[in-house]
Amino acid sequence: MIREKVRVKSFKINGIDVTGASNQTILEIAQENNIEISTLCYLKGLSCVGSCRMCIVEVKGSDKLIPSCTSKIKEGMEVTTDSARIKANREMILSMLFSERTHTCSVCVSNGNCELQDKSTELRLEHSQVPYGHARFEIDASHKNFVNDPNRCILCSRCIRVCDEIEGAHALDLMGRGMDTRIIHDMDEPWAESLSCTSCGKCVYVCPTGALYEKDISAEEAEKKRNIIMELLERKVEQ
Ligand code: FES
C-alpha cells in the first residue's frame, strides 16, 4: 500500500492564518487554535463518522457546507465557522434531531446533563422547526445496571464506536433504516442476554443524551463521563 506523505498545510479559519498536517481535519486545527466549532457526534479519542452535521463550516469557493470533523485540511483553503447560513442550517439540523425522537427534557434522566439540550441552549432554539414524529420504541431495561431507551437516541454512534474501538467488544450496532434505525445488542438480543457486552458502562458514559443511562439514579446523580476515552488513552500511554 502506498502511503500518502504527510505535509504541512497553511490555510485560514475565520481570516486567521493557521497551519496543520495534511492528515488533520478542519475541526482538529480549529481546536488547536481555540476556535470553537459546535459538535455532537464527535468525541475526542474515537473515530469520526460525521453523522450529526452539527460541525458544518463554509469553505470559500464551494456552495456546500461540509462537516469539519471529517474534512481534511487543504493548502490555501479559507474556512468560515460562523455565519448566518451556518447558524440557520445548524438550527434546522437540531430541529430535525429533536423531532425524530421523543426528547421531553423535563422527564428525562439526563435533564441538565445532555449535549442535545446544551446545543439548543447554545443556538437559542426555542421551538422545533419540524413537526414532532412522536416516536415510540420499546425500551430495553433488561440489563441489571443499564437501560437503552431508543426514544432519546440521536444515532450519533458514540456507543458503538467506544464499545468497538476502546472496549474491543463490539456488542452494539445499528439496525433498521431511516426513522426506524435503532441501537441493538448483538443480533438484536435483549441487553441482559448479550454475550459480547462486558457491562463496562463506557457506552452509557459517552452517550450525549438520556438514551443510555444507569438504573436507579436520579437526574442529579446521572453524571456522564464523556472524558473517559481520553483518560483511558492517557493511562495506556503512561503504562
Ligand atoms: Fe461533525 Fe457530528 S460533529 S458531523
41/86 Cα distance (integer angstroms): 17
Pocket test for ligand 1, best of 28, 37, 54, 66 (most atoms within 8 A of CB): 54
Helices (H) and strands (E) in the chain, counts: 6, 9
For 224, the grid coordinates are 456522564
For the Cβ of 53 lying below 6 angstroms from any atom of ligand 1, the answer is yes
Residue 115 to residue 92: CA distance in whole angstroms: 17
Residue 159: what are its φ and ψ, rounded to 5°?
Answer: -60, -40
User: pLDDT truncated to tens, each residue of the chain (239 aa)?
Assistant: 666 778 888 999 999 999 999 999 999 999 999 999 999 999 999 999 999 999 999 999 999 999 999 999 999 999 999 999 999 999 999 999 999 998 888 889 899 889 999 999 999 988 888 888 888 999 999 999 999 999 999 999 999 999 999 999 999 999 999 989 999 999 999 999 999 999 999 999 999 999 999 998 766 666 677 777 777 777 766 76
> Strand, helix or coil at 228?
helix
Query: Model pTM greater than 0.85?
Result: yes
Q: Going by CATH, does the domain composed of 8-82 fall within 3.10.20.740?
A: yes
SS3 108: coil
Task: For the chain, give every domain's residue range.
Answer: 8-82, 88-238
Residue 17 Cα, ligand 1 centroid: separation in angstroms?
23
Handedness of CA 103, 27, 204, 175 (dihedral sign): positive
CA distance readout (Å), 114 to 88, 106, 145, 220, 225: 22, 12, 20, 12, 12
Candidate CATH numbers 3.40.50.150, 3.40.800.20, 3.40.630.10, 3.30.70.20; the one for domain 88-238: 3.30.70.20
Nearest to 60 by CA among 43, 44, 39, 74: 74
Cβ pair 69, 109 in contact under 8 A: no
